[in-house]
Every structure is written in structure tokens, then in C-alpha cells.
Amino acid sequence: MIDIAAIESAAKRLAGVSVRTPLLQNFELDTAAGGKVLVKPECLQVTGSFKIRGAYNFLSQLTPEQARSGVVAFSSGNHAQGVAAAGSMLGIRTAIVMPEDAPRAKLENTRKLGGEVITYDRYTGDREAIAREIAAERGAVVVPSYDHDYIIAGQGTVGLEIAEQSVEIGMEPDQVLVCCGGGGLIAGSATALKARLPGVSVHTVEPEDFDDTARSLLSGTRESIDDSARSICDALQAHMPGELTFAINQKLLGHGLTVSDADARAAMRFAFKHLKLVVEPGGAVALAAVLAGKIDTRGKTTAVVLSGGNVDGDLFAEIQREESG
């Protein structure tokens, strides 16, 4: 179990590497929510998502021998870009196992950032097994997407910044909504938020067919996703909560929320029209939960994390053309 000290240490390592993204407020959003909404736009982060935080925190703590051997990661795209970017910054060779149907922008950007891309079929292949096999062959270190203390602590700097920034402006949130795949971002963020703002409630937001964490919080044991599940939210398609992340989340979180793909698409349109932000489907689910009324926001201050903006241009244009009504 990580603590606030581990997250504060990660923040020091990330100084000058990651962006301290702002907390934004918008009249249209406040009106829709019937309260105050603070938006944390990690779509403005280095590589377009929060993932650089955990990736750099992990890679920067490798031993010289480990760094020389390189690393292998597995990712739908955002962790891939974070690992590739961190590797380029630190001079560490990176290879990333990615779904062959990952958004083209994520595949291309990972390669541009210096990562070696190895593709697989997300519905028939085991990305973790593939990554571990490659790592064993090369003597490389595996960089998990979420289930590692260094990753969780790095992602937790998002929650640390929300706590610090909200206090700075005198608008401490009553509740914080965070998108959830494997649970690393919310596990780290909840640790920081609860340490700095003990009265805050923190909630996962997941696609309705990938609600493994929401169901796990209810049952008290890690639940899995049916293999037939599909969602536009490619960044959030974890099939089971992480062992480490769930141990943290089970202790710190309130109930989980879910949204439909249509809700996510509507949130993407809202973010572009009113916030002037490009957000990917998985990055929009926390905002979607507010706009779709999945939690009571009336008279409250709610913080939401927009976790990423790495969406293919064609898909983004298609979603923007859809009728918002």
C-alpha cells in the first residue's frame, strides 16, 4: 500500500517532466450540474494523457543495469506513449505490446516517441503473457500498466494536484470522479486526496460493459468482464481490477458509476464545444457521469478528471457531427 509520502516523492521526480495541468471551471458545465465543477484536463498532459506520470516515475527508479536491458510494456495506447516518452527522456530502450486495432494515432505516436510496437489481437491474445515472454527473452523489465507501487504513486500526482489546486482557489471538492480501467489512476489519486482532503468522496467511472471495479466494490472481491464486452472507450478495457489497485480502492472509494458509449460521445462533444478541449472516449467518462446525472451534483463541488485526449481525427470528427440532442 502506497502512502502520501510516495506520491509526494513521485511529484518531485516529475517536476519539469509532467505538466501541472490546471483546474478549469465553466459556466455551461456548472449550469448543467447545478453546482460547481472543477475539470482536471490531463488531455493537455505530455503525450496527451496522465500516463507519463506513472511511466516516468517507474523508469526513473530502475537500476543502471535494468535501464541498460530496456523495458517491455503492454498497453492500449496511452501507457504505451508514456513509457516510450519516458524511455526517450531517460535513454532507455522500450518495447510495447499493443492491440492491432488500437487507435492509429496511439500506434503512430508510440513509434514516433521511440517505442518499438508489437501488435496482438486484443480479443484472442494475452498481452501480459506476450510482454512477459518478450521480456524474458531480452532480459528486460516489464512495466505494468497500473498494478505496481511506482505506477500508482506516479498517477497519484493527479489527485495530489487536485487537492493542492482546489485549496489554493478555496474550492475543495465534495466529490471527485475519475475514469477507471485497471484502477491505477484512481488508487493513487484517492490516496492523495484522502490524505489532503479527508472528507472528500472519490468515485470510479467506467463504461457500462466494463464495470468490473464497480461490481468488485459491491461484492468485495475482484470481478471480471465478459469476453464479449465491447466499448468505444479503448483506454478503459481492463478485464479485472489490479490486485494492488483494488486493495487500495476497496478501502478508499465510494460506489462506482457507469456510463454508456453514447454518454461518452456526448461528453466529448460538450468538452469540445464548451471547454475547447479534445478528449478521447475513455478520457470523457467522468465528465459524462456529471452530464448524464449519474451522481448528485446539485449544490456541490465536483472535480472530474479528463484523463486523455488521444483520439483518431476521423473518429473525433464523426462524433462531433452527431446530433447532441
**Do residues 105 and 186 both lie within one domain?**
no
CATH code where residue 142 lies: 3.40.50.1100
Say if residue 171 is in the same domain as residue 239: yes
Residue 51 designated active-site: yes
List the one residue out of 110, 117, 61, 55 whose CA is nearest residue 86.
Answer: 55
Are 298 and 218 part of one and the same domain?
A: yes
State which of 147, 173, 200 marks the end of a domain: 147
Name the catalytic one among 40, 51, 194, 294.
51
**The last residue of a domain, from among 95, 118, 147:** 147
Q: Are residues 86 and 226 in the same domain?
A: no
Name the band, by pLDDT with cuts 50, 70 and 90, for residue 118: very high
Q: How far apart are CA 302 and CA 54, in angstroms?
A: 24
Whole-prediction pTM: 0.95
Are the beta carbons of 46 and 19 closer than 8 angstroms? yes
* 58-86 pLDDT tens trace: 999 999 999 999 999 998 889 999 999 99
Among the candidates 147, 175, 198, a domain finishes at: 147
Q: What is the pLDDT of residues 202-250, one digit of tens each?
A: 999 999 999 999 999 999 999 999 989 999 999 999 999 999 999 999 9
Q: Is 36 a catalytic residue?
A: no
Same domain, 128 and 219: no
Catalytic residue among 18, 76, 231, 307: 307
Q: Write b or e for each residue in 50-76: b if 16 or more Cβ atoms lie within 10 A of its Cβ, otherwise e.
A: bbbbbbbbbbbbbeeeebebbbbbbbb
Range of the domain at 217: 4-49+151-321
Same domain flag for 169 and 299: yes
Residue 325 scores a pLDDT above 50? no
> Which amino acid makes up residue 102?
A
Whether the Cβ atoms of residue 180 and residue 256 lie closer than 8 Å to each other = yes
Overall domain count for the chain: 2
How many residues appear in the chain? 325
Shared domain for 14 and 133, answered yes or no, is no
Shared domain for 258 and 303, answered yes or no, is yes
Note the pLDDT of residue 160: 98
